[in-house]
Amino acid sequence: MSKSIPPVVMTIAGSDSSGGAGIQADLKTFTALQCYGTSVVTALTAQSTAGVDAVHPAPPEFIQQQLRSVLGDMDVAAFKTGMLYDAAAARAVAASLRAFYAARADAPPLVVDPVCVSTSGHTLLAPDAVRVLAAELFPLAALVTPNIAEAELLLADVGTGASPQPESRINSLDGALRAARKLSALGARAVLLKGGHLAVSARDMRAFAASNAGAGAVRVDWAGSAHQNMEILRPDTDLDAGDNDAPLVVDVLYERGADAYTVFARPRLASRSTHGTGCTLSAAAACFLARGHTLADAVRAAGEFTHRAIATAAPLGKGAHGPLNHLHAIVPRCVPLPTAAAPYPFTALLIRSNAPVWKAYVEHQFVRQLGAGTLPRANFLHFIKQDYQYLRYYARAYGLLVAKARRFADVARAAETIQNVLREVTLHRAYCADALGVGEAELETGTPESPATAAYGAYLLDVGLHGDETKLLVALAACLLGYGEVGRWLAAEARRGADAWVVWAGNPYLKWMEDYAGAPYQAAVRTGLDLLERAAAEDPPSPRRLAEWTETWGKCTLLEKQFWDMAMDLS
């Protein structure tokens, strides 16, 4: 089976023992965004949601060895750096990346998150490392993602690591734009200045958007703003009270090559689950860049991912800042994907869901007596005549499947099945006339439908009229797969030699057994299996929808069993 290869993304950062930030947050984000995560650990931390208790840095040589091990084995599509802790670690990372990609013009994008201080206020970057970070890593970066405090520190005396002066403080949107541009002069292709600590209201944002309406270099991307025509999505309380004072989070992206700004604004969430927000945002941006998104699109998507991770987070931990919900984008699969070792997981799930009824159906007394050649002729004749009536319903249900099909190939398969049914009806007539002495007139008009036939046929049509495409496929599969299983079971039992209870040669019902054990019918079974599995894989069901499908399967297998009950009872 073909497998898509996920982009490989690397995080170069510290470990967070609480799992909310650092490489733990990065790897969870990579997984949630369907990238394969690799990691280089720069430091170990002992921390919780309450704060950082201790830091144990990794030796620079070991950091470089980790990089060489991974880069020599996998094609990394994007990098992100987080906590580097000291100047030696920052130099080791920069030197390793320069050396590995020196002869290549297609170095993967690097996102640098200049982690200086933890959410709880603990220093995570030594003062002498600030200049190294700016001088050696920023020029390699596609994107640098400082928050307000980190930007102020970088814009101050990066040589001495002195405290930011009043003139370097960022306290307005216009100031954020100027700061992002100044930071880009340190060498990065783009700067995302995260405004989580900047106080901006909806009123401020409207004024800013209006003042920059004619400025082609400034673009405003405001989720939920009035010009997007989404008033119906706003809560009634907002409409009554107005939202001019509603607090926003505003991030500023400056792209140096285009000399252009994109200002991203979204509602500020009243949440304490913000530990690791910067790690998550930069990790998500690396994932989207690895998938080929533009910088602006990658930043927008990363911001949305992080926003939802905060909004859906559970209140974990005793500290002031709990972790995000990195797995909000993951929906558990009720049905596993097919693999080479288990190519039919959906069908196996259906069969297991009502295994006793399935067994009673495929190993029915009707089947056992037919295989042994002892089934009374009257019972088989009654079955064949009712089966002729049932095939009308079966063909009509496939006609409904044509109407539900989304691909012409699926239309063709359903139409081909209808043609096969018509051919089977012709064979029925010939077999009934030659072997059973039953003419076409008796089959068409002289045989009333039994209650079992009418119940089964009516249920198929009801599913066809009211169910989705997959639900109808499931309903039809009970017959197709059940008869395929019966054919293979009887053929296998006939090959058991002296222990065989199935009589093959000389059995009065040999043609029936050969038809369902034969290659043409078994090929149709494989086609049906593939259609079922593809439907479940391409449109994964919710638990409720899966319950509907298994209920349909259960009803149809029971109706199949009752169809053979009818043949044995002559009812």
Helix/strand/coil for 82:
coil
Query: For residue 228, what are its two tokens?
Result: 């997007």
Say which of 277, 347, 453, 552 is annotated catalytic. 277
Say which of 262, 274, 280, 306 is annotated catalytic. 274
Which residue, among 16, 45, 48, 46, has the nearest Cα to 322 in the 3D structure? 48
CA distances from 505 to 133, 318, 499, 513 (A): 84, 77, 15, 11
**Which residues lie below 8 Å from residue 539, measured CB to CB, with a gap of 6+?**
470
Q: Give exposure, 531-548, as e/b (b: 16+ Cβ within 10 Å).
A: bbbebbbeeebeeeebeb
Say which of 82, 276, 319, 464 is annotated catalytic. 276
Query: For residue 381, what are its two tokens?
Result: 């004749």
Say which of 80, 194, 385, 471 is annotated catalytic. 194
CA distances from 263 to 124, 148, 306 (A): 28, 15, 16
Which residue, among 45, 37, 38, has the nearest Cα to 14 in the 3D structure? 45
Backbone φ and ψ for 158, nearest 5 degrees, come out as: -65, -15
Which residue, among 79, 85, 99, has the nearest Cα to 141 in the 3D structure? 79
Tokens 């049905």 belong to residue = 335
Q: Is 294 a catalytic residue?
A: no
Q: Is 11 a catalytic residue?
A: no
Is the distance from CB of 212 to CB of 171 less than 8 angstroms?
A: no
Q: Is 28 a catalytic residue?
A: no
Q: Is 432 a catalytic residue?
A: no
Q: Is 194 a catalytic residue?
A: yes
Helices then strands, counting H and E runs in the chain, come out as: 21, 11
Say which of 14, 20, 278, 484 is annotated catalytic. 278
Under DSSP, the state recorded for 545 is H
For residues 280 and 46, give the distance between their C-alpha atoms in angstroms, rounded to a whole number. Answer: 19
Helix/strand/coil for 447:
coil
Instruction: State the DSSP H helix or E strand holding residue 209, giving kind and residue range, or none if neither.
Output: helix 202-211
- C-alpha torsion angle, residues 397, 399, 400, 405 (rounded to 10): 120
CB atoms within 10 A of CB 424: 17
Cα–Cα–Cα angle for 94, 55, 141, rounded to 5 degrees: 20
Q: Is 274 a catalytic residue?
A: yes
Strand partners, 201: 247
For residues 411 and 227, give the distance between their C-alpha atoms in angstroms, rounded to a whole number. Answer: 43
* Residues with catalytic function: 194, 274, 276-279
